[in-house]
Structure 1
Amino acid sequence: MADKLNGRIALVTGASRGIGYFIAKQLAAEGAHVIAVARTVGGLEELDDEIQAAGGTATLVPLDLTDMAAIDQLGGAIHERWGKLDILVANAGVLGVLAPLGHIEAKTFEKTMSINVNATWRMIRTVDPLLRMSDAGRAVYLSSGAAHSTKAYWGLYAASKAAGEAMIRSWANETVNTPLRVNSVNPGATRTAMRALAMPGEDPDTLPRPADVAAKILPLLYPEVTRTGQLFDVPQNRFLSYRVPE
């Protein structure tokens, strides 16, 4: 096991499967203690078994991101136990539904925005003081190309991810004079359950595996990262430029 992140505390949401699962594993393999957050207990337990088998450590937090009060309490619990947070991977999200905007049910719209936007803001709010306590706090938000392509029928998911990116960019500007570095990531098409739901006729063997995508995101969480407020595009393996803030 490597020790590039030895002694660092990392929080990963949506850690029970997909990209979040493998980022959590890889963080632990680099020496970080992983706080794994997800709704699915079975997936968290499987993750914990694999992390322990490889010599790493994790704390499991079964949490439904619609439970805003629980998100608020998470920061206090982390502070009480560890006194800081070094890494945040805001990975959890839902697709919602692919449909014309005028056909989406209000309850579907509201739940999708609640998880993809409101919960992201609550997570930022609860961990911001903890990340500022780190000597090299790092935060990554898993966005999507949908936030920029705005394809027909993707309006709900696109709007939620665009809102998330906007918050992340503002957060980065608010913390630019601190050691905290905050970036967004477009993972691109990946062999995940969400992708299968969105593209049921697609051959999954043509898509990158979550473990490979996670490995490209991992370096953004290292202490030596200097970029902030930018979008890293995994398919192009490079940062894409936003317009310079006014």
Structure 2
Amino acid sequence: MSRLAGRYALITGASRGIGAAVAKRFAQEGAHVILTARTVGGLEEVDDAIKQATGTNATLVPLDLRKFDQIDALGAAIYERFGRLDIVVGNAGVLETLGPVAQFDPKLWTRILDTNVTANYRLIRSMDRLLRASDAGRAIFVTSGAAKEPYPYWGPYAASKAALEMMVKTYAMEIAKSNLRVNLLDPGIVATKLRLQAFPGEDQAKLRAPEDVTDRFVDLAEPACTRHGEVVAI
């Protein structure tokens, strides 16, 4: 398994769930993974699993994506250490809570938009030149079916994912003549903490595990990928 051999990959929200599963899979495919999350312990657990499976360590960067200047600092640090970036996976996202739009807590609204939209804008802004320095830069942003159809009480989360999709599609059009390929990925229903927040009575053992959706991430991350500006559903 070496479809990503020699590639440098940044993955946000990598301490658990889909982000952790993608980190482990990318490492198994030969990539050196740079992992960000707020939870240091979770990052260390993922790193231990990668070390056990591949014999190599990840680069761990504990940070809060809502502190946007830290994203800029991360871009500078990646440039100094690696000189380029081949893959970005914008996976980190929050639901916070469900509730009617007219009564939604403004602080939670801001947290959702900051994490799901603005942090990804800052990620694009910081990593664009690094991705262009790659011979085959790839960017993947995790979206949701909630961006497509309105559902009661999902307003803030749905609005954030709809905004993310429009932003990424626009970015894809702007860099269409470069070697960079940018897509959105909708993993569908997966057993994650976010899913459990939304459906606390659901039996997660009956859902797909995060590891079950990593194939498509590899497809979109490898140099051979030609898809661009799409919303790819699993």
Fold agreement, TM-score > 0.5: yes
What does the per-residue CA deviation read over 1:165-206, in whole Å, with 9 as the maximum and x for residues that have no partner?
111101110111011000001111100111000001111122
Match of 2:134 in 1: 134
Q: How many residues are aligned here?
A: 233
Instruction: Give the Cα separation in 2 of the matches to 1:85 and 1:43.
Output: 23
Shift, 1:149, TM fit:
1.4
Match of 1:84 in 2: 84
Instruction: Give the Cα separation in 2 of the matches to 1:57 and 1:126.
Output: 24
Instruction: Give the Cα separation in 1 of the matches to 2:211 and 2:2.
Output: 19
The one-letter code of the counterpart of 1:90 is: G
1:3/1:30 contact within 8 Å kept: yes
Instruction: Give the Cα separation in 2 of the matches to 1:160 and 1:95.
Output: 10
Q: Please give the secondary structure, in 2, of the residue aligned with 1:54.
A: helix
Matching of residue 104 in structure 1 with residue 138 in structure 2 = no
2:138/2:182 contact within 8 Å kept: yes
CA RMSD between the two structures: 0.9
The correspondence of residues 226-245 of structure 1 with structure 2, limited to 5 A, is: 226-234=226-234
The one-letter code of the counterpart of 1:47 is: V
Q: Please give the secondary structure, in 2, of the residue aligned with 1:149.
A: coil
Instruction: Give the Cα separation in 1 of the matches to 2:223 and 2:113.
Output: 32
Match of 2:9 in 1: 10
TM-score by length of 1: 0.93
Unmatched 5+ stretches in structure 1:
235-246
Q: Please give the secondary structure, in 2, of the residue aligned with 1:89.
A: strand
Shift, 1:227, TM fit:
1.0
Instruction: Give the Cα separation in 1 of the matches to 2:150 and 2:218.
Output: 27
Shift, 1:104, TM fit:
0.2
TM-score by length of 2: 0.97
Match of 1:24 in 2: 23
The one-letter code of the counterpart of 1:46 is: E
